[in-house]
């Protein structure tokens, strides 16, 4: 690893002025092709790499976007991040990633740091009581995933759709006794909205709503099963795959293999382990891609603040 080369070094090496080298670097059209080629050759040979820090300082843009997610080990979020990375990287940006751990304070700290780093934009995975104001300051340089916000762009999941899809599929099979296992409505999206969707479906189909809510874990699903399971129950719709896993497990123990279980998340595990199950895909990966595309467009000034909803699909 040779010592740090600068634009000036290769200017000398190529026998040109440093501005010409700069022009080559920025793809300025007003460079004689022959000169350009010569300079590029020298750059290659010398293994010169322009300093992003200097470019960033000069030009203002560091070509970096910050991503704040709540937990790296959340299957939904890391799928979305993969989508983000794909898009971001293809557009010549890089991502600095941070974990909020569902803590508003940490989130704001991270935003501070990202601001200081002069990142071009941020993508934040929202959670129930995160501080919208802090991200609002970023205006068009921010996109929030998973939570609706009016102040900045957002890409939400179709919390109603994921449940509707499951219900429709079950209703189409002429099932009339469908229970629901969700998470506490204090969680606005996975909790309240999905429960509401279930209730609405029940009303419309004129069937009785039977449900229970708890935490977002297998164990909670397992516990809640007995509460929502009646003799006539034909299916149990769950707000997430982890709940569904717990429910399916409990049903298996009880020998109720007749009851269909549905989850949300598109994990292959659920149906691999339990035959009588299916899962709805909220489109995590695509939501990630979408949000990244949105952000990049906004940074390029090609788009203004927008609110999108990722459509879900059956798996």
Partner DNA sequence: CTGTTAGCGCCTTCAT
Partner DNA sequence: ATGAAGGCGCTAACAG
Pick one of DNA, a copy of itself, none as the site partner of residue 89 (Cβ within 5 to 8 A by kind): a copy of itself
Nearest to 246 by CA among 270, 280, 213, 212: 270
| Residue 203 binds to a copy of itself (criterion: CB under 8 A) | no
E strand or H helix at 231, and its extent?
A: none
Comparison of 50 and 185: residue with beta carbon closer to DNA: 50
Q: CA distances (Å), 92 to each of 47, 63, 65, 78, 297, in order?
A: 20, 7, 10, 21, 13
Q: Which is nearer to DNA, 7 or 264 (CB)?
A: 7
Beta bridge partners of 68: 98, 124
Q: How far is the CB of 252 from a copy of itself (least distance, A)?
A: 9
Q: Which is nearer to a copy of itself, 86 or 168 (CB)?
A: 86
User: C-beta of 112: minimal distance to DNA in Å?
Assistant: 14
CA distance 172 to 217: 29
Q: Whole-number minimum distance, CB 201 to a copy of itself, in Å?
A: 29
Of 30, 32, 116, 232, the one binding a copy of itself by CB under 8 A: 116
Distance CA 60, CA 281 (A): 39
* Cα gap 250→280, rounded to integer Å: 20
Q: Are the beta carbons of 277 and 248 closer than 8 angstroms? A: yes
Length of the chain counted residue by residue: 315
> Binders of a copy of itself among 216-235, rule CB under 8 A?
218-219
Distance CA 89, CA 95 (A): 8
From 54-62, 184-192, 292-300, 306-314, give the range in contact with a copy of itself by CB under 8 A. 54-62
Q: Which does 254 bind (CB under 5 to 8 A by kind): a copy of itself, DNA, none?
A: none
Using CA atoms, how far apart are residues 179 and 183, in angstroms rounded to an integer?
14
Nearer to a copy of itself, 254 or 273 (CB): 273
| Residues in touch with a copy of itself (CB under 8 A) | 1, 49-54, 56-57, 62, 64, 71-73, 75, 78-79, 81-82, 85, 89, 94-99, 112-113, 115-118, 137, 139, 218-219, 245-246, 249, 268-269, 272-273
């Amino acid at each position: 690893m040779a010592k740090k080369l600068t634009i000036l070094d290769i200017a000398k090496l190529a026998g040109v002025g440093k501005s010409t080298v700069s022009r080559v670097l920025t793809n300025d059209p007003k460079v004689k092709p022959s000169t350009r080629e010569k300079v590029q050759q020298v750059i290659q040979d010398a293994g010169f790499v322009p300093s992003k820090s200097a470019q960033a300082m000069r030009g203002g843009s560091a070509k970096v976007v910050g991503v704040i997610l709540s937990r790296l080990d959340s299957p939904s979020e890391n799928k979305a991040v993969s989508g983000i990375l794909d898009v971001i990287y293809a557009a010549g940006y890089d991502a600095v990633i941070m974990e909020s751990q569902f803590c508003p304070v940490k989130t704001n700290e991270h935003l501070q740091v990202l601001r200081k780093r002069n990142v071009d934009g941020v993508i934040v995975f929202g959670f129930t009581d995160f501080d919208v104001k802090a991200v609002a300051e970023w205006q068009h340089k921010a996109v929030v995933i998973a939570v609706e916000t009016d102040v900045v762009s957002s890409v939400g999941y179709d919390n109603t759709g994921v449940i509707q899809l499951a219900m429709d599929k079950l209703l189409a099979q002429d099932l009339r006794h469908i229970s629901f296992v969700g998470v506490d409505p204090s969680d606005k999206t996975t909790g309240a909205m999905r429960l509401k969707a279930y209730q609405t479906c029940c009303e419309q189909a004129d069937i009785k709503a039977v449900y229970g809510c708890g935490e977002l874990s297998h164990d909670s699903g397992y516990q809640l099963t007995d509460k929502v399971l009646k003799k006539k129950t034909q299916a149990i719709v769950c707000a997430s795959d982890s709940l569904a896993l717990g429910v399916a497990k409990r049903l298996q123990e009880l020998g109720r293999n007749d009851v269909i279980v549905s989850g949300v998340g598109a994990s292959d595990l659920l149906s691999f382990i339990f035959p009588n199950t299916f899962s709805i895909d909220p489109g995590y990966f695509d939501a990630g891609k979408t949000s990244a595309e949105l952000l990049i467009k906004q940074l390029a000034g090609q788009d203004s603040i927008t609110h999108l909803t990722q459509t879900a699909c059956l798996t």
